[in-house]
Amino acid sequence: MAIKRAWWKEAVGYQIYPASFMDTNNDGIGDLNGIRSKLDYLKDLGIGFIWITPIYESPNVDNGYDISDYQKILRTFGTMEEFDLLLEEAHDHGIRVIMDLVINHTSNQHPWFIESRSSVKDDYRDYYIWADGTIDGPPNDWVSIFGGSAWEYDETTNQYYLHVFAKEQPDLNWENPRVKRDLFSMVDWWLDKGIDGFRVDAISHIKKAPLETSSTNDPFDSFKNVPGIETHLEELRDIFKKRDILTVGEANGVSAAEAPKWVGETEGYFNMLFEFDHISLWNKEEQETLDVIHFKKALTAWQDALADGKGWNALYMENHDIPRSVSSFGSEETVFWQASAKALALTFLLLQGTPFIYQGQEIGMTNMPFASIDDIDAVDTKNFYHEMIHAGVEPSKAMNVIRRTARDNSRTPMQWTAEEYAGFSKRKPWMVINPNKQEINVLDELTDPNSVLNFYKAVIQLRNQNEALIYGSYKLYLPDHPQLFVYGRRLGNERFVVIVNLSKEFASADLPENVQIEEWDLQLCNLNNHTIHQHTIFAPYEARVYKHK
Ligand code: NOJ
């Protein structure tokens, strides 16, 4: 099959959470000039595009995902002129810029909502979803993803409004054509500016079931990938399709089987999706170790569903909503930390799809040992903690759960150096700094040839230089092996095989017949003492990639 090339298939992405990336005006919060100051670093890493999480005007109840003006930059991050400069300099570095598009909801401080809530007769009333209460209170039993009822009572008009996330994030009413018209013209405005695409937030929630629908076993069913969503997505796609941009939809509730419809080359709504299947595997509070078989199965389902040109994958193992991958999938223990961070890098970066690296992942940053709930900023985590306390859970036990699950684990400031404020700022940052900045930081890792950072660079370079690792097919070997993740990539005669031990124990396996070491050249390995005759025994977290001679 002929290769269908695209820049967004070939580039490696890097997600920036601006508040925690780099602070240049020393107010303790990262800023746009901070991102600009690190473009050389990103280019050197091999990055082709950055995705910047929301930088728009916002009261920051959900750290920017509650937007009060889509066309203004939040003052703490900088100005529109500084944004334009960042865009220009990023392009000069050969780095494209993807913005976050949050169009399922706005802030309750957005002028549309302020108008909407003012009267049932207001012109903007139908921009949001309003309903009368019932004898039991809210219009129905739907619950918010951030906890509690999905409805908030508003005294002014004696009605409730719907919010899938925090009560300060009212859901927009996509059934109203004026809402879509206004959103789409804002999308065009940003694209006209020259940005290179969007990560589209919470997009599988824009369609709601009829309000009479009761919650099922899945409490979010009534607003997750609800039939009829296609119509809205097709309209959005028609806006996107006019340009050569990258679009990646956050698609909670979309299965691998449905993926081709969402990302198919001609009719798809997006170029790729952030799926949730492999992530939910680490969400369980009790689960301490990774279930490797299930993990492979979840990822392979997507790889296979989108094979043979049926679509394209977005590859990620970290973002600003989930704990650090080394802590969840690998190991923080000193003996395993470095090998496991590299093992995860090799596993993810060479799958079929576009990799997204989350800031700090490339140096192996770990979860934060939060001392108390006062160190937590994320609204959902605070709600969850108070729900646990209310239900009688002991505070120390509740904190254990929080430490494992909080999304703030990935929002601690980027560790640039071992200095007091990690080289992120000259004053105390808005969020606690991980004390392990002494051992894990960019400055030290840049000069250590064996660092996680240098391994990331090497893997990215390998991908950038070999089309088979970009456009090649994917094949899973040894699906039932409980420790090893073994897969092949192939494009014509060019063949690679990736072998990773995702456990703390030695693993052995007879490799598939066509992976006989005499015929394969080792490209990269994460252990220094690798010897080729040990090819069927793998040390804890050992990871290798071979190319066929
Ligand atoms: C998903 C975003 O990634 C998350 O940070 C945010 O809280 C919700 N969507 C609501 O916008």
The pLDDT tens digits for 83-134 are: 999 999 999 999 999 999 999 999 999 999 999 999 999 999 999 999 999 9
Decide: 206 in ligand 1 pocket, CB within 6 A: no
Outline where 392-451 has alpha helix (H): 395-405, 442-447
Residue 501 CB coordination number (10 Å) = 28
Asked whether the beta carbons of 485 and 347 are under 8 A apart, the reply is yes
- Class in CATH terms, 111-162: alpha beta
CB 430 within 8 A of CB 412: no
Looking from the CA of 199 toward its CB, the CA atoms found within 13 Å total 23
From the list 23, 57, 62, 250, the catalytic residue is: 250
Q: Give me the half-sphere count of Cα atoms (radius 13 Å) on the Cβ side of residue 151.
A: 20
Which run of H or of E encompasses 462?
A: helix 452-465
380 lines ligand 1 (CB under 6 A): no
Single-letter amino acid code for the residue at 173: N
- Ramachandran region, residue 439 (left: φ > 0; alpha: ψ -120 to 50; beta: rest): alpha
Closest Cα to residue 159, out of 174, 176, 137, 142? 137
The model carries a pTM of: 0.97
How far is the centre of ligand 1, averaged over its atoms, from the C-alpha of 85 (Å)? 27
Catalytic residue among 201, 275, 318, 445: 201
Q: Is there an atom of ligand 1 within 6 Å of 201 CB?
A: yes
Active-site residue, 542 included: no
| CA of residue 217 to ligand 1 center, whole Å | 23
Tell me the CA–centroid distance for residue 64 and ligand 1, in Å. Answer: 9
CA 407 to ligand 1: nearest atom: 5
Tell which atom from ligand 1 comes closest to the C-alpha of 379. Answer: 7
Report how far ligand 1's centroid is from the alpha carbon of 289 (Å).
26
In the CATH scheme, what is the code of domain 7-104+177-368+409-455? Answer: 3.20.20.80
The Å distance, Cα 524 to ligand 1 centre, comes to 36
- Site to probe by mutation for ligand 1, drawn from 51, 56, 62 as the one with most ligand atoms within 8 Å of Cβ, is 62
CA of 110 to the centre of ligand 1 (A): 17
SS3 for 161?
A: strand
Q: What is the pLDDT of residue 529?
A: 60
Give yes or no for a contact between 411 and 378, defined as CB atoms under 8 angstroms apart.
yes
> What are the residue ranges of helices labelled H in 356-418?
379-390, 395-405
State both tokens at 428. 């105390």
Ligand 1 atom, smallest distance to 321 CA: 5
Whether ligand 1 lies within 6 angstroms of the CB of 377 is answered as no
pLDDT of 533: 47
Q: Is 165 in the pocket of ligand 1 (CB under 6 A)?
A: yes
Any ligand 1 atom below 6 A from CB of 100:
no
* DSSP type of residue 483: S
User: CA dihedral defined by 387, 391, 396, 397, rounded to 10 degrees?
Assistant: -100
Which atom from ligand 1 is nearest to the alpha carbon of 202? 9
469 CA → ligand 1 middle, Å: 31
Task: For residue 519, indicate whether it is catalytic.
Answer: no
Class of domain 473-548: mainly beta
Q: Is the beta carbon of 202 within 6 A of some atom in ligand 1?
A: yes
Per the CB < 8 A criterion, the answer to whether 180 and 188 are in contact is no
Q: Which atom of ligand 1 is nearest to the CA of 380?
A: 7
Please tell me the distance from the alpha carbon of residue 457 to that of residue 445, in angstroms, as a whole number. Answer: 11
CB of residue 102 inside a 6 A radius of ligand 1: yes
| CA pair distance 182, 196, nearest whole angstrom | 20
Tens-binned pLDDT, residue by residue, of the chain (549 aa) = 788 999 999 999 999 999 999 999 999 999 999 999 999 999 999 999 999 999 999 999 999 999 999 999 999 999 999 999 999 999 999 999 999 999 999 999 999 999 999 999 999 999 999 999 999 899 999 999 999 999 999 999 999 999 999 999 999 999 999 999 999 999 999 999 999 999 999 999 999 999 999 887 888 999 999 999 999 999 999 999 999 999 999 999 999 999 999 999 889 999 999 999 888 754 445 556 789 999 999 999 999 999 999 999 999 999 999 999 999 999 999 999 999 999 999 999 999 999 999 999 999 999 999 999 999 999 999 999 999 999 999 999 999 999 989 999 999 999 999 999 999 999 999 999 999 999 999 999 999 999 999 999 999 999 999 999 999 999 999 999 999 999 999 999 999 999 999 999 999 987 776 666 678 888 999 987 655 445 688 999 999 999 998
Whose CA is closest to atom 11 on ligand 1?
Answer: 65
Domain ranges of the chain: 7-104+177-368+409-455, 111-162, 371-405, 473-548
Q: Do the domains 473-548 and 7-104+177-368+409-455 match in fold? A: no
Q: Which of 390, 472, 489, 325 is nearest to 10 (CA)?
A: 472
Pocket test for ligand 1, best of 60, 321, 358, 409 (most atoms within 8 A of CB): 321
